[in-house]
Amino acid sequence: MDIIVVGGGKVGTALVGILSGEHRVTVIDRNEVRVNNLTTDYDCKGVVGNCLQTSILAEADVHKASIFIAVTSSDEVNILSCLIAKKMKARHCIARVRSPEFDKQLVFMREELGISMMVNPDYNAANEIAKVLRYPEAINIESFAKGRVDLAEIKITKGSILENLALNQLSRRLRLDVLICAVQRGEELIIPDGNFVLHAGDKIHMTASHTALVKFFKSISAVYREKRVKSAVLIGGGRVGYHLARQLIEMGVKVKIIEVDEKRCEQLSQNLNKVSIICGDGTDHDLLKEERVYDADAVVTLTGIDEENILLSLMAKNNGVEKVVTKVNRMTLLQLTETLDLDSIISPKSITVSQILQYVRAKQNSQGNNIITLYRLVNDKLEAIEFVVREQRDYVNVPLKKLKLRSGILIASIVRGNELIVPKGDDCLKVNDSVVIVTTNKGFDDLKEIFV
């Protein structure tokens, strides 16, 4: 497909890096150095200029664009450039929009103005944080098949009933339909077989239905109900903190926000009646002790500085906070957090890129590609991909035990209508099934490619 990316910042660069390997990509940015760097690093075309000028969009061949993606730092520029691109015959337009003021206009923007998708990274990041706070034992949770399948990442602690357990004993021990499909042990990433034995310190990636996942957490934790997050402190009251506080209040969680900017504190106080707002420096250890931050069930670090968030999270962990969530955007620091053994890492940039890529793949799907969803996990070492079986193939209606998979691949789940199937040897793939695979390999575009 012909794809135009407007804005060569962090999100734009990440999108160009991924999409240029599969599509004809053009990047537009005012900054000539940015454009030159992107065209040098990736197989893409570059146009230097103002995306609101029709001459610049014409130079980028906007009339040929299947998808026009605007991810500049300005909401208004992103929306307006999409409207101009749509008038100039771009087929689908995506705008990154961060201001809460636009939240109530999403339907109007889509139906009346023709913007196909509006992505709010702060709202989406808040959603992800709220999700992991619902399940304090989980490091991360992703969803497939319209929410019917959850992929959860969990760390096995010493003394857990999972410690020293062989995977072929798992269903018998817990009596649940769950599948452990990948294990991270130190630097090693393993797609395990039934004889694999779990150790304390392993990070496991498992698939299950939402109901089975809740039961799983109850089974592995005798104090599951006590572990439920009842109080949370958010250090940083920016957009993510605002959206998260609203969601946590609805979940019945007692919320406190520590924010250094006095004007922002006044805005939060006006809009969040049930939240305790503390105006102060979240990096001040004396303030944190005075506000009894470390007595909270969860601490979420949301300042605008990644290094501050990492240090504050380490302090919270060292002071006994059960659940710590850290907002980090820079890829180099995302890799560092793995070494520091922090709990849950949330990157608004990565979430935005992932959501836009899902839309792009859905449009690819209408042109013959059958990837629905793709998540890159464990610093891009692991891929979880959702395919749909669109037609009769030679692997359809054949028991899985008779099919030979390539190495480093596991079929994690099959969704048939409203039924979730944890695959076993006698199960078959059928037309219209959604199939989730987990793999340490990369570059799969079609389900047939996973078979030898």
What is the CATH classification number for the domain harbouring 81? 3.40.50.720
- CB 371 within 8 Å of CB 387: yes
> Mean pLDDT across the stretch 279-283?
93
How does residue 213 score in pLDDT terms, banded at 50, 70 and 90? Answer: confident
Last residue of a domain, one of 196, 226, 256: 226
The neighbour count for residue 166, using CB atoms within 10 Å, is 14
Residues 187 and 211 reside in one and the same domain: yes
Last residue of a domain, one of 53, 88, 119: 119
* 49: phi then psi, degrees, rounded to nearest 5: 155, -175
Put the strands of the sheet holding 24-29 in their side by side order: 44-48, 24-29, 2-6, 67-70, 92-96, 117-119
The pLDDT tens digits for 5-21 are 999 998 999 999 989 98
How is 379-390 classified by DSSP, letter by letter? TTTEEEEEEE--
- CB 115 within 8 Å of CB 84: no
Residues 9 and 109 reside in one and the same domain: yes
> Mean pLDDT across the stretch 299-314?
94
Residues 101 and 164 reside in one and the same domain: no
pLDDT at position 211: 84
The better pLDDT of the pair 338, 452 is held by: 452
Domain-located, residue 11? yes
Domain-located, residue 301? yes
Helix pair angle (121-134, 348-365), 10° resolution: 100
What is the CATH classification number for the domain harbouring 152? 3.30.70.1450
Between CA 100 and CA 8 the distance in angstroms is 23
Residues 270 and 175 reside in one and the same domain: no
The better pLDDT of the pair 422, 343 is held by: 422
Token output for 164: 């020293």
Residues 233 and 129 reside in one and the same domain: no
Domain-located, residue 220? yes
Give the number of domains in the chain: 4
Does residue 296 carry a pLDDT above 80? yes
Residues 136 and 177 reside in one and the same domain: yes
pLDDT at position 104: 66
Residues 257 and 330 reside in one and the same domain: yes
> Mean pLDDT across the stretch 85-111?
82
Mean of pLDDT over the chain: 88
The pLDDT tens digits for 64-89 are 999 999 999 999 999 999 999 999 99
Does residue 112 carry a pLDDT above 80? no
Eight-class DSSP state of 14 = H
pLDDT at position 111: 65
How is 116-171 classified by DSSP, letter by letter? -EEE-HHHHHHHHHHHHHHSTTEEEEEEEGGGTEEEEEEEPPTT-TTTT-BGGGHH
232-241 in b/e form (b: 16+ CB < 10 A) is: bbbbbbbbbb
- What domain range includes position 64? 2-119
Domain-located, residue 37? yes
The pLDDT tens digits for 408-435 are 999 999 999 888 898 988 999 999 899 9
Residues 218 and 248 reside in one and the same domain: no
Question: Which of 155-169, 208-222, 261-275 is predicted with the least confidence, judged by mean pLDDT?
Answer: 208-222
C-alpha distances in angstroms, 84 versus 58, 252, 374, 407? Answer: 11, 44, 30, 47
Residues 251 and 180 reside in one and the same domain: no
Residues 220 and 234 reside in one and the same domain: no
Last residue of a domain, one of 104, 119, 134: 119
Residues 148 and 218 reside in one and the same domain: yes
The pLDDT tens digits for 359-384 are 887 776 555 456 777 777 777 788 88
pLDDT at position 221: 66
Residues 238 and 216 reside in one and the same domain: no
Domain-located, residue 201? yes
Does residue 438 carry a pLDDT above 50? yes
Domain-located, residue 10? yes
Domain-located, residue 74? yes
pLDDT at position 298: 95
How does residue 224 score in pLDDT terms, banded at 50, 70 and 90? Answer: very low
Token output for 109: 């923007």
Domain-located, residue 357? no
